[in-house]
Structure 1
Amino acid sequence: MITRRSAATLLAGTALGAAFGLPRGAQAADSKTIIIGINLPITGADAAGAKRIMNGALLGIQQANDSNEFPGYTLKPLVLNDATATAGQYDPAQAATNARKFVSNEHVLAAIGPEMSGSAKAMAPILSEGNVSMVTPSATNPDLTNPQFAAQYMPSGKPTFFRTVTTDAFQGPNMANFYAETLGVKDVYILDDSGAYGVGLADAFQKQAEAKGLKVLGRDRLDPTASDYSAVLTKIKSLNASSLYYGGVSNAGVKLVKQAYAIVPTIKKGGGDGIYTPDITTGDGFPAAEGWYVTNASPHVADDPKIANWLNEYTSAFNEAPDDYAITAYDGVLVILAALKKVIAEGKQPNRENVRAAIASSSVDTLQGTVSFDQYGDVKQRVVSVFQITHDPKYPLDDANHQFKYIGVAPQS
């Protein structure tokens, strides 16, 4: 079983370990070292959620080493931060720099991440050209795997970007179905945070909301670096809107949640997986966050008794409860490990192309169920889960399993 000591040891040899002042381990890699990259915004507005994702990935790597799943090989993580102080959150320019670092290190055969679609759009072309497979646990923008944009995001002509979550082509519309069918609202005002993820999610939600007969009262774009959203919220109040939908991440989301409670406290409010994160409940607290509906783009298994041993192991190792995207990150590592096992068992060289091909054709039993991919790299399951933020004072504010109450699977289109 992984312990806090072994988790810290694993981190010590990574770029992240150096960034946090931990002792730097041996950086030289021999021919029997396989590096799995991890790219996440581990500082800034989304750090709490990103660190859970990171921990899920680290747990998978450590378990493989502890059980000697690859005799003669050592697995190492290379954790890179794609957040910058200037952006206050993920920064696509930094993500592109990190992608080039992965490509330039011949021992990096695959990677986990990124968390955000804006980073993914910056990284995907570079990783494609370098033939480095990346499995994202949370980046949901459909363009990344849409064949119409293959020249932009898949210039090599082969899928290198894979997901263990579904896309906003399902997350946005299914939440619109939830608004219409379950909440029964008649109108909605839509906001986004100007990022690739937020705009795409809001677009997908809006299209389906209109198809379901909801009146879209307006649409505005929030500047995530701004501090005051009172003008647009006052406009929403003046329109007597019955609901609000936000596409975006927590940099703008934290401020929006707090200010919406002050100005439009009684309307129905919701958003996507960009605000299904402890950054919202710790940044806003209660009662501001109370009642928001949020989705994530995977099955909800973070409190499933069937994986109780894994949940206990994660909690023991990192002194916090995992969320569903910690699980999809762990599942992403399982996908990479299964590919490596297949390549080695077939007597092939564990290199980027062989691992990529094995991932593309894989069908892997994971914590969330069987994960397999279509020809573009999208996971074949299409489940979108709905939660409502509901304060449970018996648990810490950053415990997503108890502060985000599971409602059920969103109605599919």
Structure 2
Amino acid sequence: MQVKLNMIVAAAAVLCAGAVQAEDITVRIGHVGPVSGSQAHYGKDNENGARMAVDDLNKENVMIGGKHAKFELVAEDDAADPKQGTAAATKLCDQKVNGVVGHLNSGTTIPASKIYNACGMPEITPSATNPALTKQGFSNVFRLLANDNALGSGLALYAADALKLKRIAIIDDRTAYGQGVASVFKKAAEARGIEIVSEQYTNDKATDFMSILTAIKSKNPDGIFYGGMDPQAGPMLRQIETLGMANVKFFGGDGICTEKLMELAGGAKTLGNVVCAQGGVSIAKMPGGTEWKKRYDAKYPGDFQVYSPYTYDATMVLVDAMKRAGSSDPKVYLPFLAKTNYKGVTTTVQFEADGELKNPAMTFYAYKDGKQIALN
């Protein structure tokens, strides 16, 4: 009887040891974007991409440092407002999440990055494109797509070389993103011999642009560049049509380059004059884009905008670094993040020393027959 009892005790000890070895750790990934306000469609799309990654990771047997990892998404709303963005960053630092995907806007990402840097939090933005972000010298900040230097210059070259435009007006929304991409466009356009006939300003809450568009019309431009987001670009296109500028080309960066723009333009024929640019290749040309998009649409029908494949990859890149480091501790895995070589949905992700994506691609888009179509 004593022998049998000893065997039972020994077996229980083995089971307990196995339970300890298989003990789960919880990895919490922060995500911040505007899920309220006029840019909520962007933020919801981004959050969906990160959430989809977390769901996929939880279906895998992910091991970090010999322990099974369980993943949670800690989602915060910054409403595209810098003050709310810094408040969300402080909250995530206080909660000691294991890494952050975000923010969406340059105007929220840049001030938030200072907070993440101070608390040693790795941050990957899937969409903030102002070059100033990575010029701060922070070792914890990374970007997963082309910046405004590429987008603004590329659009200026397209306007000059492909469309042979000569006179362009510029409008920007005074945000870090809008000003940044507009200034790059202006410099590159002037270098190609384009005359900038008018420079006008608005804000990222405005909907009435008739006065600035009337001033622009008097300059007889053959193109308008808008540095800003689609909640303003849509009404602007309607008002351009109202003013009889039906043949004026309309340019913008990734902020206007969305599926939502078709709805926001409200049937304006000027939608057909739009040429916009996104960092990265089209979904069809992404290494895993087509299959991923099918899964996304099945999970979040009607929500896709632009950046969700990048938030998905950003989440996966953070976890890949943790796996290689054998730790979810930001201090331990951050050096491994800098040495990323990850085959993602969007591209093979590698970073330059300053946190910029190596070899970023860019795609031009237009709108035709109710669809957004890639031009390259």
TM more than 0.5: yes
Partners of 2:53 and 2:312 within 8 A in 1:
yes
The 10-residue stretch of structure 1 (230-239 or 284-293) with the greater mean CA deviation from structure 2 = 284-293
Aligned-pair CA distance for 1:257 = 2.2
CA contact (8 A) 1:45 1:250 kept: no
Write out per-residue CA displacement over residues 76-118 of structure 1, whole angstroms, 9 at most, x where no aligned residue. 00000001xxxxxx10000000000111112x11111111000
Q: Distance in 1 between matches of 2:172 and 2:272?
A: 20
- Name the structure 2 match of 1:60: 53
Q: Which moved more, 1:201-210 or 1:279-288?
A: 279-288
1:227–1:307 Cα change, 3 Å? closer
Q: 1:163-211: per-residue Cα shift (whole Å, max 9, x none)?
A: 1111101110111001011111111101100000000100000000000
The reply to whether residue 340 of structure 1 matches residue 329 of structure 2 is no
- The reply on whether 1:96 has 2:86 as its aligned counterpart is yes
Q: Which residue of 2 aligns with 1:46?
A: 39
Preserved contact between residue 286 and residue 346 of structure 2 (Cα < 8 Å): no
**Using the alignment, how far apart are the partners of 2:232 and 2:333 within structure 1?**
38
Q: Which has the larger radius of gyration?
A: 2
| Corresponding pairs, count | 349
Q: Please report how far the alpha carbon of residue 258 of structure 1 lies from its aligned counterpart in structure 2 after TM superposition.
A: 2.1
- Note if 1:143 corresponds to 2:124: no
Q: How far 1:306 sits from its partner (Å)?
A: 5.3
The alignment yields a C-alpha RMSD, in angstroms, of 1.8
Structure 2 unaligned runs (5+)?
A: 1-22
- Give the corresponding residue for 1:296: 278
After superposition, the Cα gap between the structure-2 partners of 1:57 and 1:268, relative to the gap in structure 1 and judged at 3 Å, is same
Return the offset for 1:277: 2.2
Residue 134 in 1 paired to residue 123 in 2?
Answer: yes
Distance 1:282 1:247 in 2: 19
Secondary structure in 2 matching 1:184: coil
Alpha carbons of structure 1 residues 304 and 321: separation in structure 2 relative to 1, 3 Å:
farther
| 1:276 matched to 2:257 | yes
Post-superposition offset of 1:224:
3.0
Q: How does 1:28-39 map to 2 (within 5 A)?
A: 32-39=25-32
In the TM superposition, residue 64 of structure 1 has moved relative to its aligned partner by 0.6
Task: Tell me the alpha carbon deviations over residues 50-88 of structure 1, each in whole angstroms, 9 at most, x when there is no partner.
Answer: 2112111111111010122235221100000001xxxxx
Give the Cα separation in 1 of the matches to 2:87 and 2:201: 28
What residue is the counterpart of 2:372 in the other structure?
Answer: 404
- C-alpha distance in 2 between matches for 1:52 and 1:340: 25
Identity, in percent, stands at: 26
The whole-number CA distance in structure 2 between the counterparts of 1:305 and 1:95 is 32
Worse overlay, 174-183 or 287-296: 287-296
Q: Does 1:81 align with 2:59?
A: no
- The corresponding residue for 1:224 is 204
Query: Match of 1:325?
Result: 307
**Aligned-partner Cα distance in 2 for 1:404–1:319:** 17
Amino acid corresponding to residue 407 of structure 1 in structure 2: L
Question: In structure 2, how many angstroms separate the alpha carbons of the residues matched to 1:44 and 1:282?
Answer: 17
Q: 1:355 aligns to what SS in structure 2?
A: helix
Q: What does residue range 307-322 of structure 1 map to in structure 2 within 5 Å?
A: 307-320=289-302, 322=304
| Residue 324 (structure 1) shift | 4.3
Aligned partner letter, 2:249: K
1:351-382 C-alpha deviation (Å, 9 max, x unpaired): 01122211111111011221111111000123
Q: Distance in 2 between matches of 1:285 and 1:357?
A: 48
Q: Quote the residue 1:249 is aligned against.
A: 229
Of 383-392 and 286-295, more deviation after overlay is shown by 286-295
Name the residue aligned to 1:110.
Answer: 99
